[in-house]
Structure 1
């Protein structure tokens, strides 16, 4: 199985790119976001790859980040979501935006993707809400915040609920605590849980 390709961009098309790796041109289907991030033809590029093997074909799907590839895999686990719809979602939303939308139950944002109506958006949120690991453009490691002073533990109520939501998304308790503490400083002690989650995710994306 191919997990990553490093080569030179040979062609850029509407829904795929051809990556030349030592004289072999690999046709790789990509989201619009990934295609727009690729350099011009003749320049070096690297893509994370998801390989689909069928009886009559082998298809390669390329992504600018491992997080985008992981979301592609997760989205296809949702009933009725195939590769085309998964790529449409990832063409419309970044990994961080998709994480935030699902955490907040924001079906309007998810439904912005072509071919994803309110019913499908609701299904995506419902089926992936408890399956999201702590990856994505907004995920950070403890090493990333190792130099920052520890935040005081958040109090109960909305802040505790928001912290719990971030932990359920896969973030470590120290990360979630620091993010919600910063969100409280920004939004005030009376902020609602949804507001704190949104601001907390923004803090983790910095």
Structure 2
């Protein structure tokens, strides 16, 4: 079981990361909440990890904060939610915001997250209401995929949003609405998610 990685951030193409640990490259999938706060490529990073083994695949997920990993794991205990939807939740809202939505029973807001319908949102409220207390912001973990051809910022944002579950036509609309000259991929994704979840384009 791999619980934590410390190494050099070799590549960052949302939602994929490549971390070089002593010459071994670990490929991880991470929520945008983690990607927003990563150091520049080439710098050291410490990630908390979740190692998932299925019959036909092995996957590694990375998080900067224990609260993110805890929520990722708790979400998958809800019937109908897998890793993809759990990542979409963490990418769309902060842990604190999600906890407030659940405690308030705000089913409508939860259904704006890709992959979450009304029944799943209702199950989340019922099953997680007692588990989200105290998650807080948490402490940091101490201190195409990554191997593909590099994309420009708009291309990276488009790929990341589609991997989070948004349909291509919706992604194109969101990116066109929020992208500005000079924006990094993370900035475009952050603004697009804010609009998709019912907010306004930040100034």
TM-score normalised per structure 1: 0.63
Q: For the Cα contact (< 8 Å) 2:66–2:138, is it kept in 1?
A: no
Q: Distance in 2 between matches of 1:122 and 1:100?
A: 14
Q: Does 1:113 align with 2:96?
A: no
Deviation at 1:138, TM superposition (A): 7.5
Structure number, greater radius of gyration:
1
The structure in which a higher percent of residues are helix is 1
Q: Distance in 1 between matches of 2:34 and 2:132?
A: 21
Per-residue displacement from partner, 1:111-164 (whole Å, max 9, x unpaired)? 23122222221121111113335222179xxxxxxxxxxxxxxxxxxxxxxxxx
Q: Secondary structure at the match of 2:73?
A: helix
Q: How many pairs were matched up?
A: 139
Q: For the Cα contact (< 8 Å) 2:17–2:30, is it kept in 1?
A: yes
Q: Which residue of 2 aligns with 1:51?
A: 51
Q: For the Cα contact (< 8 Å) 1:29–1:60, is it kept in 2?
A: yes
Q: Distance in 2 between matches of 1:131 and 1:96?
A: 12
TM-score normalised per structure 2: 0.64
Q: Does 1:89 align with 2:82?
A: no
Between 101-110 and 82-91, report the one with greater CA deviation: 101-110
Per-residue displacement from partner, 1:66-99 (whole Å, max 9, x unpaired)? 0000000000000000000000001011111111
Q: Secondary structure at the match of 1:68?
A: helix
Unaligned runs of 5+ in 1: 140-206
* 1:57-76 matches, cutoff 5 A: 57-76=57-76
Q: Secondary structure at the match of 1:87?
A: helix
Deviation at 1:55, TM superposition (A): 4.0
* 1:5-154 matches, cutoff 5 A: 5-137=5-137
**Greater RCO structure (CA 8 Å; 6+ sep):** 2
What do you get for the CA RMSD once the two structures are aligned?
1.8
Q: For the Cα contact (< 8 Å) 1:30–1:61, is it kept in 2?
A: yes
Q: For the Cα contact (< 8 Å) 1:46–1:64, is it kept in 2?
A: yes
